[in-house]
A = this chain, B = another copy of it.
């Protein structure tokens, strides 16, 4: 007998390794709420769940893409119609934003979380306004025993950098963000420079 998928669900597991290697160079790493991440110069995005830190790693964050938890059918149709893929050549800027939500968030029921996330905070509606400028992939980490609950990876072109600041500004000002008890904001540029 062997344990299944030690590297996580096939095609859905990702590891972000902060260290000295990787395609993405860190330009800024800030603790928005709570503790920062150790200082690293690059991030390597690995398409599996790494079981032990690679050589040179200063931190490792892991997550899995999963079914959506809040989006309705009409919202999904809008998202699918507008959202761009990751890896666009012109999208040379990225942001890696891991967040953790408080125990009081997780103690809310599904309907209460949806009410805060969308009815009162317009998380989905705000995100839609920045499509197709900003590409995004959400990773779930809480049930893996990771230090953050979610990791979002964003990609955008330098010309949309101010739009991206506007997007994160709107979300951080929302009622939903009162339940965020740790957030780090890592900004990156692609390439070897």
Contact = CB atoms under 8 A, between A and B. Distances in A.
A145 B144 CA distance: 11
Contact of A52 (B3, B13, B69, B112): B3
A57 B143 contact: no
Interface in A134-163: 140, 142-147
B7 A145 contact: yes
Interface stretch (A70-78, A85-93, A167-175, A179-187): A70-78
A42 to B, nearest CB: 14
Contacts of A49: 145
Nearest to A70: B110
Given A6-B145, A68-B109, 19 more contacts: A1-B58, A1-B60, A3-B50, A3-B62, A4-B145, A4-B146, A5-B144, A5-B145, A5-B146, A8-B144, A9-B142, A9-B143, A9-B144, A67-B106, A70-B110, A71-B109, A72-B111, A110-B110, A144-B144
Contact of A109 (B8, B64, B73, B144): B73
Count class of interface residues, chain A:
35 or more
Chain copies in complex: 2
Nearest to A56: B1
B53 A110 contact: no
A10 interface: yes
A38 interface: yes
- Interface residue SS majority, chain A: loop
Interface string A92-108: 00000000000000110
Contacts of A62: 3
Nearest to A8: B145
A23 interface: no
A51 interface: yes
A64 B143 contact: yes
Contact of A13 (B50, B75, B111, B145): B145
